[in-house]
Amino acid sequence: MTADDVREFAAALARQALALPELATARTVAAYVSVGSEPGTLALLDTLRARGVRVLLPALLPDNDLDWGDYTGPDSLARVRHGGRMALFEPAGERLGPEAVTEADVVLLPGLAVDARGMRLGRGGGSYDRVLARLERAGAHPALVVLLYAPEVVERVPEEPHDRPVHAVVTPSGVRRFGRPPGTPGP
């Protein structure tokens, strides 16, 4: 994709995500800053912040768990290289602890693919599997939304016993739901 394509897809992704009722009413959103070929998230993060939403971003810990910090704009990000892996953009300010994610009304998750059942394929580090387990243990029920490109929504991905389905996937071209997120009205 060209740089223009990447910008256009990021803007389209933000428009689709911002139309979600879950994000319209969210007070706190746990998100991430896209890297590499992932769909761009900064436009979405900045719009959420401009709406008065508290945005939490992850910081990778040595054991692959995630700590969290507040996103207050592009100047609040630090580029951090973790060993031989790609550099990540993480919050530069105070760390809030791994449990901070339990305050989120919506958790935006990265992934490589989501299947027709709502099962998410991650990068294999287990960071977000830990987040989902932490949410479950805490009795927290945020809407779980994956941000992807349309071709990354596939028929089936491999599944492990600890995997949990997400509620929706957002692509630049639309939204696909897999179950009703907590707090949303029925049909």
Higher pLDDT, 123 or 137: 137
CATH number for 120: 3.40.50.10420
Q: Is the pLDDT of residue 181 over 50?
A: yes
Q: Which of 148, 157, 155 is nearest to 175 (CA)?
A: 148
User: CA neighbours within 13 Å on the CB side: how many for 38?
Assistant: 22
Number of structural domains found in the chain: 1
Binding site: what residues are annotated?
33, 38, 120-128
% of residues, the chain, pLDDT over 90 = 75
For residue 183, being part of any structural domain is answered with no
Q: Which residues are annotated as a binding site for substrate?
A: 33, 38
- Is 187 part of a structural domain of the chain? no
- CA proximity to 169, closest of 128, 113, 85, 129: 113
87-91 and 106-109 beta bridge pairing: unpaired
Give domain status of residue 182, yes or no: no
- Across-strand partners of 115? 154
Residue 142 falls inside a structural domain: yes
In a domain, 158, yes or no: yes
pLDDT tens digit sequence for 33-81: 998 888 999 999 999 999 999 999 999 999 999 999 999 999 999 999 8
Domain assignment of residue 164, yes or no:
yes
pLDDT at 179 over 60: yes
Q: Which domain holds residue 37?
A: 3-177
Contact 105/165 with Cβ under 8 angstroms?
no
As annotated, the binding site for ATP includes 120-128
Question: pLDDT tier at 187 (50, 70, 90 boundaries)?
Answer: very low
pTM over cut 0.95: no
Pairing label, strands 54-60, 66-71: antiparallel
On whether residue 150 sits in a domain, the answer given is: yes
- The answer to whether the beta carbons of residues 16 and 175 sit under 8 Å apart is yes
- Domain assignment present for residue 185? The answer is no
